[in-house]
């Protein structure tokens, strides 16, 4: 049996070419199984740019070497108590059937640094790539959410639901629907932690989304606005969802209108709108622990491209 003899050390700028090539190789292997992953990260130059931006933004990085080969990279930073490793800051050599040893050693080196920076929990984004999925599970990370994408497409038979694109004058109803959805996540069967955001904060968030070019769709029934779907054009995870393409953000359906097809109608209108606006894909993320979300989004044609994982660390006093 061959045992890995790994050297773990800090990521330096002279490592960036090798680390970027590693990310591109892993992305190529992952994209063979999930072609909706963004093509940008097939190019080592884009991967190099992503890693360079992370280091310039204060992220800490480590690399793993197995002899002369660089076989792993992990790069992240602590923000508001969360040690976060984005998908473009994590990769393992794609030809390893079980990269657990590499991932464990990288995290063991990076975690204390992020803990010293104030982290009390950790979040990792990663591509849909089976060996890496298993390795991170072995490391004790649990899945928190799923990123998924599908091609935009025209909808020939749109549902008979009154859906319109909202204006700024609709911000009050947008915020109210968005706040209802936040509260709904804390009840069975979802049991998400309660959200502390006030209605005023939700209103301000959607005002910023308008400023950034987001499109809000509202669904009306019996004269009342009962459904919301927000489309943003910035990706929260560029390696998992294409930047500049529609990304479904806050969504909501009034409790009295749930189960009537409002949510499905909003998604189909958004897919049709994306096509007419010249966009190629539409992406979304949803909570893994929400038993209603997974069948809804996957049933509408979205395919997983990656995952967000979380882990809490018990630190001795």
Predicted confidence pLDDT, tens digits, the chain (317 residues): 344 689 999 999 999 999 999 999 999 999 999 999 999 999 999 999 999 999 999 999 999 999 999 999 999 999 999 999 999 999 999 999 999 999 999 999 999 999 999 999 999 999 999 999 999 999 999 999 999 999 999 999 999 999 999 999 999 999 999 998 877 766 666 666 667 789 999 999 999 999 999 999 999 999 999 999 999 999 999 999 999 999 999 999 998 998 999 999 999 999 999 999 999 999 999 998 888 889 999 999 999 999 999 998 866 54
Beta bridge partners of 304: 148
- Cα 100 versus chain centre, distance: 22
- Does 189 sit behind a cis peptide bond, omega within 30 degrees of 0 on the bond before it? yes
- SS3 assignment for 40-75: HHHCHHHHHHHHHHHHHCCCEEEEEEECCEEEEEEE
Determine how many CB atoms are found less than 10 A away from the CB of residue 74: 27
Assign domain 151-306 to its CATH architecture: 3-Layer(aba) Sandwich (3.40)
The whole-angstrom separation of Cα 231 and Cα 267 is 10
**Contact predicate 251/226, CB 8 Å:** no
The whole-angstrom separation of Cα 222 and Cα 160 is 13
Per CATH, 6-140 and 151-306 having the same topology is answered yes
Give how far Cα 61 sits from Cα of 26, 76, 102, 119, 147, Å.
18, 6, 14, 15, 24
Q: Identify the pLDDT of residue 34.
A: 95
Domain boundaries, the chain: 6-140, 151-306
The matching CATH number, chosen from 2.40.340.10, 3.40.1410.10, 3.20.20.370, 3.40.630.30, for 6-140 is 3.40.630.30
Q: Identify the pLDDT of residue 190.
A: 65
**Contact predicate 242/38, CB 8 Å:** yes
Collapsed DSSP state (helix, strand, coil) of residue 286: strand
């Amino acid at each position: 049996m061959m045992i890995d003899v790994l050297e773990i050390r800090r990521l330096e700028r002279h490592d960036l070419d090798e680390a970027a090539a590693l990310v591109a190789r892993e992305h190529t292997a992952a994209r063979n199984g999930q072609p909706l992953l963004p093509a940008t990260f097939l190019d080592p130059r884009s991967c190099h740019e992503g890693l360079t931006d992370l280091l310039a933004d204060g992220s800490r990085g480590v690399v793993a070497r197995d002899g002369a080969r660089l076989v792993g990279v992990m790069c992240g930073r602590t923000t508001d108590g969360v040690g976060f490793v984005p998908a473009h800051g994590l990769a393992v050599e794609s030809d390893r059937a079980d990269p657990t040893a590499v991932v464990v050693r990288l995290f063991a080196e990076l975690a204390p640094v992020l803990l010293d920076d104030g982290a009390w929990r950790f979040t990792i984004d990663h591509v849909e790539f089976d060996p890496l999925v298993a390795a991170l599970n072995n490391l004790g990370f649990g899945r928190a959410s799923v990123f998924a994408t599908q091609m935009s497409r025209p909808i020939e038979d749109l549902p008979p639901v009154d859906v319109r694109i909202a204006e700024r004058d609709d911000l009050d109803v947008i915020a109210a629907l968005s706040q209802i959805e936040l509260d709904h996540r804390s009840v069975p069967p979802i049991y998400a932690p309660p959200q502390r955001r006030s209605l005023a904060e939700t209103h301000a968030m959607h005002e910023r989304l308008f400023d950034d070019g987001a499109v809000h769709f509202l669904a009306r029934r019996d004269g009342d606005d009962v459904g919301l779907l927000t489309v943003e054009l910035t990706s929260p995870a560029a390696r998992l969802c294409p930047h500049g393409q529609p990304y479904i953000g806050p969504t909501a359906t009034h409790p009295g209108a749930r189960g009537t097809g409002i949510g499905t109608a909003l998604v189909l209108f958004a897919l049709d709108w994306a096509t007419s606006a010249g966009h190629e894909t539409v992406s979304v993320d949803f909570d893994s622990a929400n038993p209603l979300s997974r069948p809804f989004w996957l049933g509408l044609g979205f395919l997983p491209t990656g995952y967000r994982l979380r882990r809490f660390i018990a630190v001795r006093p």
